[in-house]
Amino acid sequence: MRPSPGVLLGAAVLVVLALVPLFVAPYETGILARILTFALLAVSLDLLVGITGLPSLGHAAYFGIGAYTAGWLSINVTSEAPVPLLAATAAGALAAAATGWLAVRSSGIFFLMLTLAIGELIFQLAQQWESVTGGSNGLYGIPAVRVAGSPLTEVGFVYWYLLAAFVLGYAVLQVVSASPFGAVLRGIRDNEPRMRSLGYSPFRYKLAAFVLAGAVAGLAGGMLAAQQRLVTTADLGFTTAALALLAVVIGGAGTLWGACLGAALVVLIRDALGPRLDGHGPLVLGLVFILAVYLLPRGFAGLAGLRVRRRRKQPA
């Protein structure tokens, strides 16, 4: 059997990403590393927003918890890979399980506001728990990741480390999305009462999706600690959560890879283009969001679907 065009395209993109440090300057490579980190956060949020139908404004809390866990562990215990990433993933999953059992009992605007409240509570906790998080000063002095005892100080090696983590996290969500479990989540998104009448338990499925999304967000937080080597309360605040949701909407909710496109656009405007616009990056992001909502209701990923539908309508 021949591989599908999507698989071939994904493999080609992966090869190009793997070759980046060999042909791209360190500064641009660092920006791509930040894109990978933020893209995994956006993809984990897309599991909730686009596939399960649970729009969240507090998802950055699990991202920040993972980052603080990986940073604290690297400082006080070990920075040997992949221990910080595994700990960050576990911390994100545990935090999501502790808060998700309450959050997923609601839906729609109530779920949105409840996740916002949970995110703000965790943000305030991080601000006050200075002995662990550093408070408003942030958790700094995080040592470089070590592989077999050797620290990864070169930008290219750190990038490859983050790329491996991103591929693993994305692959897990892609498999889940394409599985029968993912089909049930889409059914709950489209018609929860009907799925309940068929014998499914929407609460259990939504809680499982919430915990999985929190775990992958925690993994992305561990990537942030490894790449930035500094974690601040802003990383788990409302702004980060809103930007992640913005990336999902712009890229195309429910496609996973569309969330990656949206995340890349957000990071490029914020980190690359923003400084050249005298700090007007948020204004540009707002304009892009408005244009995407009115001109691309399905996001940039919807353009690919539109092309496929047009090809199917063409006579043979």
pLDDT value of residue 182 = 94
pLDDT above 70 as % of the chain: 94
pLDDT value of residue 316 = 45
Judge whether 233 and 127 are in contact, CB under 8 Å. Answer: yes
pLDDT value of residue 117 = 93
pLDDT value of residue 210 = 96
- Residues 127-186: pLDDT tens digits? 999 888 988 888 998 999 999 888 888 999 999 999 999 999 999 999 999 999 999 999
pLDDT value of residue 9 = 83
Is 106's pLDDT higher than 90?
A: no
pLDDT value of residue 3 = 66
Q: Indicate the Cα dihedral angle 42, 62, 33, 164, nearest 10°.
A: -90
pLDDT (average), residues 264-270: 89
Could you tell me the pTM of the whole model? 0.92
Judge whether 69 and 221 are in contact, CB under 8 Å. Answer: yes
β-partners of residue 80 are 146
| Choice between 202 and 300, residue whose per-residue pLDDT is larger | 202
pLDDT value of residue 304 = 66
pLDDT value of residue 45 = 95
- Tell me the C-alpha to C-alpha distance, in Å, between residue 43 and each of 72, 296, 315: 25, 19, 36
pLDDT value of residue 308 = 42
pLDDT value of residue 303 = 73
- Residues 122-139: pLDDT tens digits? 999 999 998 889 888 889
